Amino acid sequence: MNIGDMTDEAPGVRTFRLNFSNEEEGNKFQFQTGQFGLYSVFGAGESTFCIASSPTKKDYIECTFREAGRVTKALRELNIGDTIGFRGPYGNMFPIEKWEGKNLVFVAGGIALPPLRSVIWNCLDLRDKYKNITIIYGAKTVADLVYKDELKEWNARKDVSLVTTVDPGGETPDWAGKIGFVPTVVEETAPDSKDTIAIVCGPPIMIKFTLPVLEKLGFKQDKVYTTLENRMKCGLGKCGRCNIGCTYVCKEGPVFTAEEISKMPDEF
């Protein structure tokens, strides 16, 4: 793939818009929201990221990553026009057909908005199929919020209810959003659980605190979805690295319901 465009979202966080180097392959490529791929810098290695763009957008895919290690550092050193490798799509998908006719509540924290951004846009591009859409998104500080332009776009839409928050101490003088940890803000916002699907993504600690809040608000475990991450290498269920108990995150996930997670051993 080659890098068609790039955006700096937050300190250390960048989005790539990737075009297919081979047009024929690009035309054949299809994926479903929730799936991921392995992106590589030839010479540095591979890294696993979700596909952060919606499948409704043809001709390109996007990924968002934070510079944290060897491969992501090499990715950040690349320029527009440079070539990277991609293999995918792997994994399962968000079952958005099952959610038709329902309200959707998306809850994300920090760098975990990218996996949800794909499904948010997929649902917004099919807006008529869903009832109320609420997005609750928070980060450590204002600067750490990603997709700042899209947040403005979602905020301006009349058919989306957006709540943004930063951790206490992370606000700037002109911050107009909420101040508080995401699980607390979810509790305050108190989305109605009737006929509603909740989709949550965040660092393990945020998920661990948000799931009980949703349960308290009346969300049944099979109506709460999340997407998990684990260290991956092959992405196809062979190398034996990403399993949580019996479940391979790369093959049987990364999308799981809270009910499925409750049956997994506490090993993630």
Partner 1 sequence: MEKLLNKNSFDSLITGLKKQGYKTIAPKKDNKLVTLEEIQDANEISLDHVITNNSIKEFFFPKTEKILSYTIEKNKVEMEEPEGFAVKSVIFGSRPCDAFSLPVMDKVFNWDCSDKFWVERREAITIVTVACDKCDSYCFCTSVGLAPDAKQGSDVLLTKISNDEYLVETVTEKGENLVKELESVFSDPPSGTPDRQVATVEKKFEIDKVKPWLDDNFQHNVWDEFSYKCIGCGACTFVCPTCHCFDIVDECTMTKGDRVKNWDGCQFTMFTMHTSGHNPRSTQGMRWRQRIMHKFKYYVEKFHSTLCVGCGRCSRVCPADMNISEMLEIISTDKGQPEPVTKE
Structure tokens at 122: 């997929």
Which H/E stretch holds residue 62?
Answer: strand 60-66
Closest CB to partner 1 among 111 and 160?
111
Q: For residues 16 and 115, give the distance between their C-alpha atoms in angstroms, rounded to a whole number.
A: 14
Query: For residues 70 and 10, is the Cβ–Cβ distance under 8 A?
Result: no
Query: For residues 105 and 134, is the Cβ–Cβ distance under 8 A?
Result: yes
Taking CB under 8 A as the rule, does residue 24 contact partner 1?
Answer: no
Taking CB under 8 A as the rule, does residue 237 contact partner 1?
Answer: yes
Taking CB under 8 A as the rule, does residue 246 contact partner 1?
Answer: yes
Give, as ranges, the residues between 56 and 75 that touch partner 1 (CB under 8 A): 68-69, 72
Taking CB under 8 A as the rule, does residue 45 contact partner 1?
Answer: yes
Size of the site for partner 1 (CB under 8 A): 35
Taking CB under 8 A as the rule, does residue 134 contact partner 1?
Answer: no
Of 98, 129, 152, 238, the one binding partner 1 (CB under 8 A) is 238
| CA distances to 106, 136, 165, 210 from 187, in Å | 13, 11, 13, 9
32 three-state secondary structure: coil
Closest CB to partner 1 among 41 and 133?
41
Q: Which residues bind partner 1 (CB under 8 A)?
A: 40, 42-46, 68-69, 72, 81-83, 85, 203-204, 229-231, 233-234, 236-241, 243-246, 251, 265-268
